[in-house]
Structure 1
Amino acid sequence: MDVEKVFHMNGGLGENSYAQNSYLQKKASDMVKHITLKSLEETYVSSTPESLGIADLGCSCGQNTLSTIREMVETIDKIVHKFSNIPPPEYRVYLNDLPTNDFNAVFKILPDFYKELNNQRHVQCQKLESSVYIAGYPGTFYGRLFPDKCLHFIYSSYSLHWLSKIPPGLYDKEGHSINKGKFYISKSSSLQVSKAYFNQFQEDFSLFLQSRSKEILSGGRMVLILLGRRDQNHVDRGNSFLWELLSQSFATLVSKGEVKQEKVDEYDAHFYAPSRNELEEEVKKNGSFKLERFEMFEIEHYTGPYMSHGTAVARTIRAIQESMISRHFGEEILDNLFENYGNLIDEEMGIEDIKPISFIIVLKRL
């Protein structure tokens, strides 16, 4: 399956859309927002450019995308307002995601976004006359996207754990999966499986750093938020366990005759949760960036009144994975699959906590 042509978050504003089911990602990015905005502030103050270039890589769609941009603009506005001798910059904002992303959903809410932002800026900083220019920039970030040295700040939230493709090392000479019945690295997976995923991560992240090193100015920064794992063990009660539960949900459908086992055996995830050491090693090998900050954190459980934590997680995963799963298995299984998945998560949470971890990394261009 060609990931670049198929993979996307669910568009629109419907019940299963990413816009309606990205609460957990928003909560996580808010937890480390102070790091993101402080890094942007330090980048701007060090050079006070007349035109500030910002890119959001893997922007997806919905209010989360524009709320982050609003906070960035407000942060710089406050600095300009505080130091009246600094002229306000114009903001060049590039929203990047795969061409399959629902950019139209973002464009439709831009007029209201501009109106609200300008009203707020006028009230808070009446002398500001700079403009905010926002553009969609479709394409994979595993490769070049922008002209040389045009960006000051790059932000990517919950995108870099998605690989550019399903690792080719997961298949034998006849094209059959060597990780049958599992979608990711599990206890029953061979060392060859974890090696295949690691090799693909190395190739992708190396290319990502190499590409960004050419596009970002010296002194510019990148803030990267992604899922990871605590140590060298690939199997834990975190991100890998959530994939294990998804494979169990499919096993239930197989037992009921709703899905064929062969179809399950043929499906693999284009996902990798790196360790801190693996990420640091790639940054070191690239040599273009200084690692300024690296922190691990856990996303707090969903505690809303309308659904359980398991249901919230299942809806989030569905909004992310539906494009890939429906392409391979068909749409008719989705409701039963993710109902089973949510129930399994809740059952396991009753036995022992599931604790997926995330990293936030700040890199400064040398």
Structure 2
Amino acid sequence: MEVPRELHMNGGVGETSYANNSSLQRKVISMTKPIMEAAITALYSTAGSTFPASLAIADLGCSCGPNTLFAVSEIISIIIDICNAKKHELPEFQVFLNDLPENDFNTLFSNFLPRFQEKLSEQMLKYRALAKLACFFNGVPGSFYRRLFPQESLHFIHSSSCLMWLSQVPRGLEGNKGNVYIARSSPPSVIRAFFEQFQRDFSMFLEYRGRELVVGGRMVLSLVGRRSNDPSSEECCHHWNLLATVLNVMVSEGLIEEEKLDSFNVPYYTPSPKEVRCEVQKQGSFLIDCLEVSEVNWDVFDTGFVPNDVSKDRAYGMAISMRAVAEPLLVEHFGEALIDEVFNRYRAQASDHISKHKTLAINVVISLKKIT
């Protein structure tokens, strides 16, 4: 499986696009703002009077849609407030937006960037500093599991809802029949293969970011994870288990070949806070400022269990959000003809799940300081 080519969200601005179905990810960015604010404040405190006139910010795994520039907007707003309070001159901003080459950069730069620049200009008016604002945007296609930037060229790195995606499908998953990810029926060898791939990838990510950040630079990462020590816990696997249920039924009906399903696994791993902390400490380039775990509803309007007459609409939201993320992988492996059927059935499975369970996702957030 050529993950760099396949692993991208649905582009464009249509009904099934990631741009229109990423409210959960937006909520995660909002929830992490206090941590970003603390990290950027600490960055300013460290720099003191020598703070650079040009500030380089990278958003890794930016995808395409309003969330990309929402994250950047939050970061710039924090810096503007700090500069205003400290009576610092605003730095020039270099903003690097990174994702895999198949990401829809065209829509990002043609549809969303102009709107963002207009809002940023409006925001600056209240500081009477419009003439001093300089913000330069760059697209950086490529995997964040390799080097992306020159040595010590970045001051702040942000990544949200991305690092649970692996650089490749782990090897040695032949025993994971009938599953698309880790499940209760997965043998220990399969669970170990996913975990070891995460270890290699996350260590590599930290190694490269350690080279690219200036000493004292900050990095705030958030990713889907789990509280439990058990990688097959329902709290981190239920959305993939629902997909596996759908595909298995379609196998039983002769719509999908069994061998085709058995050879499909997603390049994904939801780590525990302990696993994240351990890799940071082993790699050695960063000091952990903060490590937190929080819950977020898949349905951002959900306040708990919902009655059956409401669950169907929420099930549609859950299904279309999943489609925005998983469709490119499924199309590449199973073909495009069955995709509508897959997600119609996923909606039905989601409706049943929502009527019985809370649709929670676990978010792990870590704030890091470059020390070597």
Q: TM-score if structure 1 supplies the norm length? A: 0.94
Cα deviation, residue 178, structure 1: 2.1
Say if 2:170 is the partner of 1:167.
yes
d(CA) in 2 for partners of 1:240 and 1:83? 46
Cα deviation, residue 241, structure 1: 1.9
Query: In 2 relative to 1, CA 104–244 (structure 1 residues): closer, same or farther, beyond 3 Å?
Result: same
Cα deviation, residue 345, structure 1: 2.1
**What are the Cα deviations for residues 107-134 of structure 1, in whole angstroms up to 9, with x where unaligned?**
1032232222113212334366030011
Q: Percent identity?
A: 40
Report the AA paired with residue 85 of structure 2. K
**What are the Cα deviations for residues 197-243 of structure 1, in whole angstroms up to 9, with x where unaligned?**
01101110010000000000111111000011112211222221221
* Superposition RMSD in Å: 1.7
Q: Which of 288, 291, 300 in structure 2 is aligned with 1:302?
A: 300
**What are the Cα deviations for residues 280-315 of structure 1, in whole angstroms up to 9, with x where unaligned?**
111111111111101111113332899633222221
Q: Which residue of 2 is the match for residue 234 of structure 1?
A: 231
Q: Secondary structure at 2:274's aligned position in 1?
A: helix
Report the AA paired with residue 353 of structure 1. K
8 Å Cα contact 2:61-2:100 kept in structure 1 = yes
Say if 2:10 is the partner of 1:13.
no
8 Å Cα contact 1:156-1:224 kept in structure 2 = yes
For structure 2, which runs of at least 5 residues remain unmatched after alignment?
Answer: 303-309
* Alignment map for 1:1-366 (pairs within 5 Å): 1-47=1-47, 48-84=51-87, 86-108=88-110, 109-126=112-129, 129-170=132-173, 177-300=174-297, 301-303=299-301, 308-366=313-371
d(CA) in 2 for partners of 1:127 and 1:228? 41
Aligned residues: 359
Query: In 2 relative to 1, CA 132–45 (structure 1 residues): closer, same or farther, beyond 3 Å?
Result: farther
d(CA) in 1 for partners of 2:123 and 2:356? 48
Cα deviation, residue 354, structure 1: 4.1
More moved, 346-355 vs 52-61: 346-355
Query: In 2 relative to 1, CA 242–111 (structure 1 residues): closer, same or farther, beyond 3 Å?
Result: closer
d(CA) in 2 for partners of 1:353 and 1:68? 27
Report the AA paired with residue 168 of structure 2. K
Report the AA paired with residue 319 of structure 1. A
Q: Secondary structure at 2:269's aligned position in 1?
A: coil
More moved, 235-244 vs 160-169: 235-244
8 Å Cα contact 2:170-2:193 kept in structure 1 = yes
Q: TM-score if structure 2 supplies the norm length? A: 0.92
For structure 1, which runs of at least 5 residues remain unmatched after alignment?
Answer: 171-176
Query: In 2 relative to 1, CA 111–209 (structure 1 residues): closer, same or farther, beyond 3 Å?
Result: same
8 Å Cα contact 1:103-1:136 kept in structure 2 = yes
Query: In 2 relative to 1, CA 22–307 (structure 1 residues): closer, same or farther, beyond 3 Å?
Result: farther
